[in-house]
Chain A
Amino acid sequence: EAGVTQFPSHSVIEKGQTVTLRCDPISGHDNLYWYRRVMGKEIKFLLHFVKESKQDESGMPNNRFLAERTGGTYSTLKVQPAELEDSGVYFCASSGGAFSYNEQFFGPGTRLTVL
C-alpha cells in the first residue's frame, strides 16, 4: 500500500513568490493534517481536514496560507506571498478512524526555502 506522498520534495523560491505544496493521503483516510517544522523549533500543527471540511485550522499562521482539499482526496497548501520566515519542512499526515489516538501516517515532507 502506498503511503502518504508529498510533492515537491524541495522548493526554493524568492520572497514574494507563490508556492503550492501537495499531499496525497493514504487511500480511504478521511483525516488529513498539515504540520511544519521551522529551523530550530518544534513541529507545529497547521490544520486538520476531515474529508473536504476544515475541522481545525487554529495553527495556520496567517492569511498568506491557504489549504484546500477538494473532493476529500488530495490536499494543497498554498503560500502567497511567501516570506523568509516561511522556510521550513512541511509535513502532511493522514489517519483513518474517528479517534484522536489513531496513528497519523506521515509523508516525507516538503522542504521549503524562501530566499
Chain B
Amino acid sequence: AQRVTQPEKLLSVFKGAPVELKCNYSYSGSPELFWYVQYSRQRLQLLLRHISRESIKGFTADLNKGETSFHLKKPFAQEEDSAMYYCALSGRSNYQLIWGAGTKLIIKP
C-alpha cells in the first residue's frame, strides 16, 4: 500500500534547539519525496524535494531508502518556523501527491 506516515501530530521545541520532523513512507517503486509547509493564514507551499538536494530556510531532508524515511531537519529552530509541515510523495509516472497527516511545529521563544 502507498502510504506516508508522520508519527507526530504536534512537535514543540524551544528557539535555537534542533528540530527533526519524521516521515516514513511505503511505496512500491522509487517515489519522489517532498516536504510542503503551510504557515498561518497562508497557502500550502513547497519547502523542499529530495531530487533537488537543497537546503531551504536552513531545512534539509535526506532520503533513506533502506529505512524508507525522509525526515526533515534543522539544526537551530527559529520562531518563524512555526507552521504545519506535510510530507508527501508521488510516483515517477504518477503525479498525484500522497500526503502524510502533517505535523504542527511550534517554536517556543
B contacts with A, residue count (CB < 8 A): 23
Scan A80-115; emit 1 where CB is below 8 A from any B CB, else 0: 000000000001010100001101111111000000
> Is B28 at the interface (CB under 8 A from chain A)?
no
Q: Count of A residues near B, CB < 8 Å?
A: 27
CB neighbours (8 Å) of B45 from chain A are 105-106
Q: Would you call A55 and B95 a contact (CB within 8 A)?
A: yes
Query: Is A48's beta carbon under 8 Å from chain B?
Result: yes
Give the distance to chain A from B84, nearest Cβ to Cβ, in Å. Answer: 11
B97 at the interface (CB under 8 A from A): yes
Closest chain-A Cβ to B45's Cβ sits at a distance in Å of 7
Question: Nearest CB to that of A108 among chain B residues?
Answer: B43
Query: Would A43 and B32 count as touching, CB distance under 8 A?
Result: no
Interface with A: B15-23, B66-74, B98-106, which one? Answer: B98-106
Instruction: Give the A-B pair count, Cβ closer than 8 A.
Output: 55
What residues on B are CB-neighbors of A48 within 8 Å? 95-96
Contacting B at CB under 8 A, from A5-28, are none
Q: Which residue on B lies nearest to A47, using beta carbons?
A: B96
- Which A residues are in CB contact (< 8 Å) with B44? 91, 93, 106
- Provide the bound-state CA to CA distance between A100 and B45, in Å: 16
Q: Which residue of B lies closest to A55 (CB)?
A: B95
Q: Are B94 and A56 in contact (CB under 8 A)?
A: yes
B64 CB-CB contact with A under 8 Å? no
Residues of A within 8 A of B (CB): 3-4, 31, 33, 35, 41-45, 48, 55-56, 58-59, 91, 93, 95, 100-101, 103-109
24 A-B contact pairs sorted by A residue (CB < 8 Å): A3-B43, A31-B95, A33-B97, A35-B97, A41-B101, A42-B4, A42-B99, A42-B101, A43-B88, A43-B97, A43-B99, A45-B96, A48-B95, A56-B95, A58-B96, A91-B44, A93-B44, A95-B95, A100-B91, A100-B92, A100-B94, A101-B32, A101-B49, A103-B49
